[in-house]
Structure 1
Amino acid sequence: MTNQHLLLVHAHPDDETIGQGATMAKYVAEGRGVTLVTCTAGEMGEVLVPELEHLAADRDDALGEHRRGELADAMAILGVTDHRFLGGFGRYRDSGMKWHPDGHAIAADETDERAFANADLTEAADHLVAIIREVRPQVLVTYDQFGGYGHPDHIQAHRVAMYAAQLAAVPSYRRDLGEAHDIAKIYWGAMSETQLRDGLRKLRAAGDTTTFEGMDPEGPMPMGSPDADIACRVDAGALADKKMDAMRAHATQITVDGPFFALSNNLGTAIWGVEHYRIAKGELGPVDADGWETDLFAGL
């Protein structure tokens, strides 16, 4: 399977592990190539470790370099050896965000001129075109058009990834960036609405009313994808512990305390070991009894 290669495009360190950590570990273990491109260093993230609060953007502004180390540690756990920053480390800065009253993210009131959300789309895409033509993946994974929950960097990562995939396939476009390559299948990471509702029900039953505060398991679920929209379910339950260890490596961003992680830890295989995808380009391969692919490379 060494001729099969997966490319993932994410906005900040930790997004990749939360979304596709199990899939990445599974494909590495199977001998498939995995390349991660991270668009920013996550400089504007909230610091959850009290003794590291001085790293925050409004203090020492040193969080990006620290998260660079966290990402390296997480990728070492998952076995991913090819991870890069779009345009090189520090080229694009985390844009930050704020919460809309409806519960999704929106742009911050002010952004740095280097913020990824402000990047020229073609310039940013060209950095990725070069990687696509070098790595020559059959499968690309990124966010949907809403970035999952509205974060401006997630939305920009979606735009850059989708545009770069188009440009990379055009033989006459920027020949200096390498030989044209057409990615056969593109997927958007997804959260199964059914799984999300089930998880919320368990949290509420366990007495946790603060995690995903305001979200009703029986109400609207904007972050969840209806199961009818999901095309692929990758079951890497045997590697769920690796994913969780990689999440722990992102210590400034993910806390292992509290009822959410405790509950999800007890249900690790079901919660963290199964990851879902919507197909955005390409043909479905063989499917299981639920009508879902079980492999992003299905049919290739």
Structure 2
Amino acid sequence: MTSRRLLLVHAHPDDETLTTGGTIAHFAAQPDTSVTVVTCSLGEEGEVIPPELALLEPGESDQLGGYRIGELAAALDALGPVEHRYLGGVGRWRDSGMAHDGAVRATTPAVLHPRAFARPEAFDAEVAALVEILREVRPQTVITYDADGGYGHPDHLRVHAITVAAVAQVPARLFFTVIGRETLAAGLARLAGLDGSPFRMPEPDELPSVPDKLVTTRLDVSARRERRLAAMRAHATQIALWEDGEPGIGTVALAMSNLVAQPMLDVEEFIAADGEPGGLFPEEEP
């Protein structure tokens, strides 16, 4: 067993890359350090970007979950040597999908699939499955979403809740992945000055962020750029990319199926659950 063990809990394939891809790649490259990613569903309810793959969607052939297994495997290969687990086994819980509040926030659908991850009666079994993984891996550091889940997706909210409950049983240092408001604004400002992007710029507060004073931990992931880009490309059903200038050094914009531009940032930010500033591991710079 390695001396340092990091475990990340994510809701769907692609979440690991979008929110913590640089962190995964950073620690996967470190000596005597292991990285374990736990994914809680197959992302069966996702919206597909490439038209030629649209028949994978749940309203058509409903094969998206199986397709995303391959996307996730390729993304994790790009990020570095990573151990991966599906919570409860492959396909144990299904992507709950999401509704919208009429603005930019996600809400829980009125009707949930019988195997939906966000179903109230599934909570205890989900916690037990995560506790089993924590007891086996014994991570010193665990990363998941904050209490808001970033933008309110019911599966992100549930992942936060079960991770907090599981870590209470198997203690570890707990961090929540976020984006600071000023960090996001600076990234968007760089995109706003570019021509040729196929994506529209977001409206005010359309992308989730938190007040910068809440951020306790920042990790420079600029050295992991190529690995992150390769992982994003692997999630082709969910992530569209556009790069301005010479490949590898230009400014990068990414977008989900709504085609709203998001900046690819060179820093990943976190809130420590205990509120204490510092690195993800004690010897890491904050």
Q: TM-score scaled to structure 1, two decimals? A: 0.83
Q: Structure 2 CA distance, aligned partners of 1:58 and 1:265?
A: 39
- Matched with 1:78 is 79
Which of 250, 267, 270 is the aligned partner of 1:274? 267
CA 1:75–1:222 in structure 2 vs 1: closer, same or farther (change >3 Å)?
Answer: closer
Deviation of 1:81 after TM superposition, in Å, equals: 3.0
Preserved contact between residue 123 and residue 162 of structure 2 (Cα < 8 Å): yes
Preserved contact between residue 188 and residue 279 of structure 1 (Cα < 8 Å): yes
Task: Give runs of aligned pairs for residues 1-300 of structure 1, distance below 5 A.
Answer: 2-31=2-31, 32-118=33-119, 119-168=121-170, 182-183=171-172, 185-206=173-194, 211=200, 213=202, 215-216=203-204, 220=205, 223-257=208-242, 262=244, 266-267=250-251, 271-281=264-274, 283-284=276-277, 293=278, 295-298=279-282
- Matched with 1:174 is none
Aligned residues: 269
Q: Structure 1 CA distance, aligned partners of 2:100 and 2:206?
A: 16
Q: Which runs of 5+ in 1 are unaligned?
A: 169-181, 285-292
CA 1:166–1:212 in structure 2 vs 1: closer, same or farther (change >3 Å)?
Answer: farther
- Where 2:264 maps in the other structure, the secondary structure is helix
Q: Per-residue displacement from partner, 1:42-65 (whole Å, max 9, x unpaired)?
A: 000001111111110011111001
Q: Structure 2 CA distance, aligned partners of 1:135 and 1:164?
A: 13
Q: Structure 1 CA distance, aligned partners of 2:74 and 2:133?
A: 22
Letter in 2 for 1:187: F
Q: Per-residue displacement from partner, 1:176-221 (whole Å, max 9, x unpaired)?
A: xxxxxx21x10000102111112223333436696354x22xxx57
Q: Percent identity?
A: 40
CA 1:233–1:159 in structure 2 vs 1: closer, same or farther (change >3 Å)?
Answer: same
- Where 2:230 maps in the other structure, the secondary structure is helix
Deviation of 1:265 after TM superposition, in Å, equals: 7.0
Deviation of 1:230 after TM superposition, in Å, equals: 0.4
After alignment, is 195-204 or 231-240 more displaced? 195-204
- Where 2:59 maps in the other structure, the secondary structure is coil
Letter in 2 for 1:102: A
Preserved contact between residue 104 and residue 206 of structure 2 (Cα < 8 Å): no
Preserved contact between residue 194 and residue 244 of structure 2 (Cα < 8 Å): no
Deviation of 1:100 after TM superposition, in Å, equals: 1.7
Q: Which has the higher helix share?
A: 1
Q: Structure 2 CA distance, aligned partners of 1:265 and 1:108?
A: 41
- Matched with 2:259 is none
Supply the RMSD in Å over aligned alpha carbons: 2.3
Q: Structure 1 CA distance, aligned partners of 2:178 and 2:274?
A: 15
Q: Per-residue displacement from partner, 1:237-292 (whole Å, max 9, x unpaired)?
A: 111111111011000000124xxx54897235x933310000103744xxxxxxxx
CA 1:209–1:197 in structure 2 vs 1: closer, same or farther (change >3 Å)?
Answer: farther
- Where 1:120 maps in the other structure, the secondary structure is helix
- Where 1:194 maps in the other structure, the secondary structure is helix
Q: Per-residue displacement from partner, 1:91-120 (whole Å, max 9, x unpaired)?
A: 000000122223111112322010001052
Q: Which has the higher strand share?
A: 2
- Where 1:128 maps in the other structure, the secondary structure is helix
- Where 2:191 maps in the other structure, the secondary structure is helix
Q: Which runs of 5+ in 2 are unaligned?
A: 253-262
Q: Structure 1 CA distance, aligned partners of 2:217 and 2:200?
A: 27
Letter in 1 for 2:157: I
Deviation of 1:23 after TM superposition, in Å, equals: 0.8
CA 1:129–1:100 in structure 2 vs 1: closer, same or farther (change >3 Å)?
Answer: same
